[in-house]
Chains A and B, each alone.
Chain A
Amino acid sequence: MMAALRRDKLLSFALIFVILQLLLAIFAPIVAGDPIEQVIMSRMQGPSLENPLGTDQLGRDVFARILFGYRTSLLTCGVAVVLALIVGGSLGMLAAFYRGWFDRIVMRIMDVLFAFPIILLAIGIIAVLGPNALSASIAIGVVYVPIFARLLRGPSLVICESEYVQGARAIGASDSRIVFTHLLPNLSSLILVQASLLLSAAILVEASLSFLGLGAQPPTPSLGQMLSEGRNFLLLNPWPAVFSGFAILFLSFGFNLLGDALRDTLDPRLRNSTD
Chain B
Amino acid sequence: MRFLAGRLLDLVLVLFGVSVIVFLMIRLIPGDAVAIMLGANTEITPERIAELESRLGLDQPIVVQYFDWISGIFRGDLGTSIWTGRPVAQEIAANIWPTLQLTFLSVLVGAGLAIPIGCFMAEARGKTAEVLVRVGAIAGLTIPSFWLGIVSIFLVAKLMPGSAMLGYVPFGEDPLGNLQRMILPVFALSLPMLANLSRLVRSAMLDALGQDYIRTAKSKGAGRTRVVYVHALRNALIPFITSVGVATGYLLGGAIVIEQVFAIPGLGQLVLGAISERNYPLVQSAILVLTFAFVLVNFLVDILYAAIDPRVSQR
Contacts and interface: CB of A to CB of B under 8 A. Distances in A.
A275 B287 contact: no
Contact of B154 (A128, A204, A238): A238
A248 interface: yes
Most buried by A among B26, B141, B196, B204: B141
A120 B142 contact: no
Given A119-B254, A123-B272, A253-B142, A111 B154 contact: no
A99 interface: no
Contacts of B204: 272
Interface in A233-255: 234-235, 238, 241-242, 245, 248-249, 252-253
Contacts of B29: 127-128
Nearest to A242: B151
A260 B26 CA distance: 38
Contacts of A234: 150, 153-154, 157
Interface string A101-130: 000000011011001111110011101101
Nearest to A230: B150
Given A120-B256, A211-B257, A260-B138, A127 B294 contact: no
A220 B153 CA distance: 27
A212 B257 contact: yes
Contacts of A211: 146, 257, 260
Main secondary structure of the interface of B (DSSP, over half): helix
B35 to A, nearest CB: 15
Interface stretch (B13-21, B88-96, B179-187): B13-21
A182 to B, nearest CB: 25
Interface stretch (B48-56, B77-85, B213-221, B244-252): B244-252
B243 interface: yes
A111 B302 CA distance: 14
A256 B150 contact: no
B8 interface: no
Interface in B94-140: 131, 134-135, 138-139
B256 A245 contact: no
B20 to A, nearest CB: 9
Interface in B1-41: 10, 13-15, 17-18, 21-22, 25-26, 28-30
A21 interface: no
B142 A274 contact: no
Given A111-B10, A231-B150, A238-B154, A117 B272 contact: no
Interface string A199-231: 010001001100110000000000000010001
B138 A256 contact: yes
B304 to A, nearest CB: 18
A108 B13 contact: yes
Interface string B247-281: 00110111011001100000000011001000000
A247 B146 CA distance: 14
B224 interface: no
A272 B200 CA distance: 8
Contacts of B25: 124-125, 127-128
Given A124-B287, A130-B30, A235 B157 contact: yes
A10 interface: yes
A249 B196 contact: no
Contact of A212 (B22, B150, B253, B272): B272
Contacts, number: 136
B200 A127 contact: no
B257 A119 contact: yes
A10 B131 contact: yes
Contacts of B275: 123-124, 127
Interface in B154-179: 154, 157-158
Contacts of B147: 227, 241, 245, 248-249
A97 to B, nearest CB: 21
Contacts of B144: 204, 207-208, 227, 245, 248-249, 252
Contact of A115 (B14, B131, B141, B250): B14
A256 to B, nearest CB: 5
B14 A116 contact: no
Contacts of B154: 234-235, 238, 241
B290 interface: yes
Given A211-B146, A245-B151, A272-B207, A111 B14 contact: yes
B306 interface: no
A231 B153 CA distance: 10
26 contacts: A108-B13, A111-B10, A111-B17, A112-B21, A115-B294, A117-B294, A120-B271, A120-B287, A120-B291, A124-B22, A127-B25, A127-B29, A127-B275, A128-B30, A212-B257, A227-B144, A227-B146, A227-B150, A231-B150, A234-B150, A245-B150, A245-B151, A252-B142, A272-B203, A274-B196, A275-B246
Which 6 pairs show the lowest CB-CB distances between chains A and B?
A: A112-B17, A117-B253, A245-B147, A252-B142, A119-B253, A253-B142
Interface of A: 10, 108-109, 111-112, 115-120, 123-125, 127-128, 130, 200, 204, 207-208, 211-212, 227, 231, 234-235, 238, 241-242, 245, 248-249, 252-253, 256-257, 260, 272, 274-275
Given A108-B17, A235-B158, 14 more contacts: A10-B131, A109-B17, A116-B291, A117-B256, A118-B250, A120-B253, A127-B29, A204-B142, A211-B146, A227-B144, A235-B154, A242-B151, A245-B151, A275-B196
